[in-house]
Amino acid sequence: MMENLVQTIKNSVQTSMDSHFEHLHRHPEVAFEEQNSAKYIVDKLRQYGYEVFEGIGKTGVVGRLKNGDGIASIGLRADTDALPIVEKTDLPYKSKTEGKAHLCGHDAHTAMLLGAAEYLAEHKPFNGTLYLIFQPAEEIMGGAVAMLKDGLLEKFPMQAMFGLHNMPSLELGKIHFTVGPIMAAVDNWEIKLTGVGSHGSMPEKAIDPVVAGAALVMSLQTIVSRNVAAKDSAVVTIGAFQSGTVGNIIPQEAVLRLSTRTARPETRERVLNRIREITRLTAEAYEVKYEISESQPGAVLVNDPENTERATAVAQKVLGEANVVNPGPTFMGSEDFAFFAQQIPCVYGFIGNGDTPMVHHPEYVFNRSNLPLGAAYWVGIVQEYLK
């Protein structure tokens, strides 16, 4: 039965998915502003016969569909937010909102899940409880945490959750799985150095935060080269160094903004502790005061071994063995699906988008031939787990 799912999906819900995709692409909304996208999702789920729960994690939506007397339950998750980037394509369904666009494919992820939702509601090829999680604010690593804080897993208990993301550079239409850590934790910090300002001609009366900041930038670059094993992966990026206004004034403050990515939890702790230590010691050496503002703690996305192998087998039945890769690649990018994976067994896969510009690029285009493949995979997962 699974071998014919892709064609079955094309025959039954392809038109709907195309419509969802183009509508959402035309009307992008960024993190925690997805009110209209949420309303669109809610209307479709109710039309299909789902119980719908709104406002889970501010603009998140959960759909529930029960069938039969099965006690098992699983969740399928799609992200819904767009990016604050100007789209530079000539698509007939190009973004109509200035400065905002779906340049990561979340519109397609949502369309896939809505397509699967329609098919599953009509045919009900399962026995148990299905939860569809439409999560906001993935791009700022905030939506999953917000949904968890609103009691997602308490209100909607599930044995496992599954996610799927398109990935340019991977062969078109092939799904990739990897057991264990697959995406890095990201920690975005700000360090403020406070000195004493002065006229540029009298540096002896100043405590210069620019000099201290410059020394700190260089010292932080030693963390990966000298504190992380060569076989491990980590990145420490100082993406912003802001201080002063003109050349003849020694400023009072300097601000550094950091993005740190680590591939293992223990490496994350080591790197972050070294940032704290090096900042403290550099501040002491240059006699400036310092303040570190730490953001939402990052999390490495870790795939559950048993369920990853099981999902791989499902994908092989749906798409054919030649179109499923395990083990697949890992990435230093980050995904807040990791916070779900800290709570329950999770599986996150990548579907190849082919040779296109990378996600977050102004000319990125989702290859819509993946829509029926992703939807068929979702239906296959439901059939396997809710037998």
pLDDT tens per residue, range 187-216: 999 999 999 999 999 999 999 999 999 999
Query: What residues form DSSP beta bridges with 132?
Result: 63, 76
Which CATH number do you get for residue 378? 3.40.630.10
For position 60, what pLDDT does the model report? 98
Task: Band the pLDDT of 337: cuts 50, 70, 90.
Answer: very high
Domain carrying residue 207: 185-293
Tens of pLDDT, residues 254-296: 999 999 999 988 999 999 999 999 999 999 999 999 999 998 8
Together in a domain, 167 and 54: yes
Please indicate, yes or no, whether residues 157 and 76 belong to a single structural domain of this protein. yes
Query: Do 248 and 364 lie in a common domain?
Result: no
Average pLDDT, the chain: 97
In sequence order, the β-bridge partners of residue 64 are 51, 131
Q: Is the pLDDT of residue 1 over 60?
A: no
In this structure, the answer to whether residues 124 and 251 fall within a common structural domain is no
Judgement on whether residues 284 and 361 belong to the same structural domain of the protein: no
End-to-end CA distance of the chain: 13
Give yes or no for a contact between 13 and 115, defined as CB atoms under 8 angstroms apart: yes
3-state secondary structure 244-279: CCCCCEECCEEEEEEEEEECCHHHHHHHHHHHHHHH
The one-character DSSP state at 221 is T
Within 10 angstroms of residue 71's Cβ, the number of other Cβ atoms is 10
List, as residue ranges, the binding site. 104, 106, 139, 165, 360
* Domains in the chain, number: 2
Query: What is the pLDDT confidence band of residue 2, given thresholds at 50, 70 and 90?
Result: confident
Residue pair 339/326 in contact by the 8 Å Cβ criterion:
no
Residue 14 shares a structural domain with residue 25? yes
Calculated CA dihedral for residues 54, 152, 106, 179, nearest 10 degrees: -160
Same domain, 202 and 257: yes
% of the chain at pLDDT higher than 90: 98
Task: Provide the pLDDT for residue 3.
Answer: 66
> Do 189 and 172 fall within a single domain?
no
Contact residues for 349 (Cβ-Cβ < 8 A; gap 6+): 162, 163, 164, 165, 175, 176, 177, 311, 315, 328, 377
Co-location of 154 and 26 in the same domain: yes
Mean pLDDT, residues 314-342 taken together: 97
Tokens standing for 293?
């503002």
Distance, CA of 224 to CA of 235 (rounded, Å): 7
Given 293, 319, 338, the domain boundary residue is: 293
Which own/partner pairs from 215-220 qualify as long-range (CB within 8 Å, at least 24 positions apart)?
Answer: 215/282, 215/285, 215/286, 216/191, 216/256, 216/278, 216/279, 216/282, 216/283, 217/241, 217/256, 219/278, 219/282, 220/258, 220/275, 220/278
Of 103, 294, 262, the C-alpha closest to 183 is 262
CATH number at residue 277: 3.30.70.360
Nearest-angstrom CA–CA distance, 387 and 374? 20
d(CA 5, CA 21): 20
List residues forming the annotated binding site for Mn(2+).
Answer: 104, 106, 139, 165, 360
Kindly state the average pLDDT of the residues 334-341: 97
Crossing angle (nearest 10°) for helices 305-319 and 5-26: 100
Same domain, 32 and 168: yes
pLDDT given at position 61: 98
- CB distance 203 to 240 below 8 Å: no
0.75 surpassed by pTM: yes
Task: Clarify whether residues 264 and 280 are in a common domain.
Answer: yes
Cβ neighbours for 115, distance < 8 A, ≥ 6 positions apart = 9, 13, 14, 16, 17, 20, 371, 372, 375
Look at residue 76 and tell me whether its pLDDT is greater than 70. yes
In the chain the beta strands, taken as DSSP E runs, fall at 51-54, 61-67, 73-79, 128-135, 160-167, 175-176, 180-183, 185-194, 198-199, 234-243, 249-250, 253-262, 289-293, 301-303, 324-325, 346-352
With CA atoms as reference, report the closest residue to 351 among 330, 323, 318, 384. Answer: 323
Of 240, 263, 293, the residue at which a domain comes to its end is 293
Q: Select from 263, 293, 323 the last residue of a domain.
A: 293
Separation between Cα atoms, residue 185 and residue 283, nearest integer Å: 27
Are residues 14 and 152 both part of a single domain? yes
